[in-house]
């Protein structure tokens, strides 16, 4: 393949993935409202389109046309920057996720991954660790007490859980001996080779920490509405608010995709085409997220910190040690 062809194919891949992720975010909000509705014995959105399927579009139009209110004592530049900073890192992590096997299209061998980096897993952790800045800056620049408290809580929470988050997948890496996402999927070719079976503790730790990292219930203290109004995005309205909203869902999708790739065998599965299997697994993981939100009450702040440092962190270290002893000795 020539240089131009490679550039062209990569650009198309990027555009397709970005569009897919945005659509995924929109329909995750639909899924969430629908599922939470049923969990609470309601029907959920059902007016716009069949099964309320046009609801995300209605929401988007509403948010675009709302007035963008900027309070007086905000730090203008950081205030405008914060929603973008939440959104971009979430999108970046999709660059290394393999959505399927090689396919032949128009005579080209196309890998269903934008870029198969040697350090794929590290790349995901590097970009997702930047997402916290958006929240911190939003909290700081809004010039509001609620926002500031939300921002402070969020930075403390994310730093605390990031340690266990990183350690939770070390077990998988010790077994696999690679950091490439594609290689990880290849090592889970049969059902019982999935890393969820070889690393059950690692998987549980990963899920708990990932929920904390994405600020979702029961770890949604940065936006605890009963105490902080809406936390870090209290002062945001219209499209800027929508960007936080999309950013949150993009982050959840990214976590689901990474979990699917690392623990649930990636795109592998019988009969159905790979991309469908991938979508099913991601959708199940997202539903799990929503199920937790509908079921569990929010943690208290000191419980959150104690749980992170005194339970998850030692457990993650122990898991790494045991895995290393079993597999590498």
Partner 1 sequence: MLLELVIFYVAAVFAIGAALLMILQRNPVASVLYLIVSLLAQATLYIQLSAMFVGAILVIVYAGAILVLFLFVIMLLNLRGEQFEEKRPRLGRATKMVISLALLVELLMIVKQTAFPERMDRLMVEATPDFGSVKPVAELLYTQYLYPFELTSILLLVAIVGAVIMAKRGRTDHDEEDK
Binding site for partner 1 (CB under 8 A): 75, 78, 117-119, 122-123, 125-127, 129-130, 132-133, 136-137, 139-140, 148, 151-152, 155-156, 158-159, 162, 166, 179
Q: CB of 145: closest distance to partner 1 in angstroms?
A: 11
Q: CB of 37: closest distance to partner 1 in angstroms?
A: 36
Q: CB of 117: closest distance to partner 1 in angstroms?
A: 7
Which residue lies nearer to partner 1 by CB, 159 or 311? Answer: 159
Q: CB of 158: closest distance to partner 1 in angstroms?
A: 7
Following DSSP, what letter does each residue of 69-138 receive, concatenated? ---TTS-HHHHHHHHHHHHHHHHHGGGG---SS-EEETTEEE-SSS---TTHHHHHHHHHTTHHHHHHHH
- List CB contacts of 61: < 8 A, sequence separation 6 or more: none
Which residue lies nearer to partner 1 by CB, 158 or 217? Answer: 158
Q: CB of 151: closest distance to partner 1 in angstroms?
A: 6
**Residue 221's closest CA among 131, 309, 305?**
305
Which residue lies nearer to partner 1 by CB, 9 or 286? Answer: 9
Confirm if 241 and 184 have CB atoms less than 8 A apart: no
Which residue lies nearer to partner 1 by CB, 73 or 104? Answer: 73
Q: How many CA atoms lie within 13 A of 108 on its CB side?
A: 11
Which residue lies nearer to partner 1 by CB, 123 or 206? Answer: 123
Classify burial at 245, counting beta carbons within 10 Å of its beta carbon; exposed 0-12, middle 13-18, buried 19 or more.
Answer: buried
């Amino acid at each position: 393949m020539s240089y131009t062809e490679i550039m062209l194919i990569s650009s198309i891949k990027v555009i397709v993935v970005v569009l897919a992720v945005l659509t995924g975010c929109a329909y995750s909000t639909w899924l969430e409202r629908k599922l939470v509705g049923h969990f609470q014995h309601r029907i959920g959105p059902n007016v716009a389109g069949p099964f309320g399927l046009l609801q995300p579009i209605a929401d988007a139009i509403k948010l675009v046309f709302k007035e963008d209110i900027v309070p007086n004592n905000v730090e203008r530049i950081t205030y405008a920057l914060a929603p973008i900073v939440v959104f971009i890192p979430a999108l970046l992590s999709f660059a290394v996720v393999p959505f399927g096997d090689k396919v032949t299209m128009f005579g080209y061998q196309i890998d269903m991954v934008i870029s198969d980096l040697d350090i794929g897993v590290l790349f995901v952790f590097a970009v997702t660790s930047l997402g916290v800045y958006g929240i911190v800056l939003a909290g700081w620049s809004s010039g509001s007490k609620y926002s500031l408290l939300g921002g402070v809580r969020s930075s403390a929470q994310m730093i605390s859980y990031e340690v266990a988050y990183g350690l939770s997948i070390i077990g998988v890496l010790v077994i696999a001996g690679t950091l490439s996402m594609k290689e990880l999927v290849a090592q889970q070719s049969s059902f019982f080779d999935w890393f969820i079976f070889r690393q059950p503790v690692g998987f549980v730790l990963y899920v708990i920490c990932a929920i904390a990292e994405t600020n979702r219930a029961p770890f949604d203290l940065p936006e605890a509405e009963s105490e902080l109004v809406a936390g870090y995005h209290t002062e945001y309205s219209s499209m800027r608010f929508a960007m936080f909203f999309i950013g949150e869902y993009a982050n959840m999708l990214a976590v689901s995709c990474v979990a699917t790739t690392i623990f649930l065998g990636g795109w592998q599965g019988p009969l159905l085409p790979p991309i469908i299997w991938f979508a099913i697994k991601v959708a199940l993981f997202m539903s799990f997220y929503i199920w937790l939100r509908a079921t569990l009450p929010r943690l208290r702040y000191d419980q959150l910190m104690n749980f992170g440092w005194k339970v998850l962190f030692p457990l993650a270290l122990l898991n790494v040690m045991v895995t290393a002893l079993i597999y590498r000795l």
